[in-house]
Amino acid sequence: MAASQHITVLGIFVADATFRASRQARMGETILGNSFALGPGGKGSNQAVAAARLKGNVTLLTRLGDDAFADMAEKIWQEAGVKSGAVRDPQSYTGAASIFVDEASGDNAIIVCPGAAGDISADDIDARTDLITSSTVFMTQLEQPLNAAIRGLQVAKEAGVATILNPAPAAPLADKTFALCDYITPNETEAGELTGVEVNSLDDARKAADVLLKKGAGAAVITLGEQGALYHTSHRSELVTAFSAGPVVETTGAGDAFNAGFAVGLSHDMDALEAVRLGCATAGISVTRAGAAASMPTLAEVEALHPFGLTD
């Protein structure tokens, strides 16, 4: 298997501050919580960390403030092996999310402030075109401003770089945006929102995938939770079954794990269907652990679950 070539990820980092209590406080009220955790979040950061743990050669393009949360982000990336392409903005702040979890019901209430990441722009992409055009894979999501994602896809597509759009959170997209995507990787809900096809079965997923192809995507890869993932093109449609690596603890970050594994597979010149299988294996391990970035497996763990023959 060829050594991993370069992956560029465009996305955001936010610090997730999670509070757990028996109920949510009313306005003007103070209550005692039961636990607190501070950890890394943001789909772009999660995907970059997961890809680096699989020994992918990955750079993350983003914006941070110049503060303690930015230092936390850089430390996490350094530990995972992510190359930082972050711009620090001392006039802004690093994104953060306040997450309240009701321990009785499991429901949550979230406030997200993207901070500097909300200012990622097409200009940021144009400043790093050399990095993107020298990559094998370019991957982005829809948490940063849409114009930046579109510009990144344009630069990569024009250079012949494989493009992956993970359309999360789902947002209305023009057909010309789909045409920039060699691969689009929604989950069932996102596929439904993008196509108008409610995805409750494999047949539904294939119908939604057909709509995505008609809109211009090169291939649709629809993740289907415990069923696995559908790889669908104009001439090939196959379900890759999910991997069971143990009891499911938490599904947070499973989609990010999948996308990272898929991107790493493509960067190793894998057949796309085998890259989907690597994504499923990566996600299968991640759901056996709590957290998002913290749940991402190493290459050795994935190879132990299923031998892909990857080299460091």
Count of other CB atoms within 10 angstroms of residue 281: 27
Other CB atoms within 10 A of residue 104 CB:
9
C-beta of residue 277 within 8 angstroms of C-beta of residue 264: no
| Residue 256 known to be catalytic | yes
From the candidates 126, 203, 256, 269, give the one annotated as an active-site residue. 256
Cα 296 off chain centre by? 12
- In what side-by-side order are the strands of the sheet with 35-41? 35-41, 14-21, 94-102, 108-115
Is there a contact between 93 and 65 (Cβ–Cβ < 8 Å)? Answer: yes
3-state secondary structure 91-140: CCCEEEEEEEEECCCCCEEEEEEEEHHHHCCHHHHHCCHHHHHCCCEEEE
| 158, 219, 190, 123: CA torsion to nearest 10 | -10
**Amino acid making up residue 201:** S
What are the C-alpha distances in Å from 129 to residues 2, 3, 135, 181? 25, 23, 10, 17
Query: 256 to each of 3, 32, 207, how far by Cα in Å?
Result: 22, 33, 24
Residue with tokens 């050669």: 57
- Which residues are tagged catalytic? 256
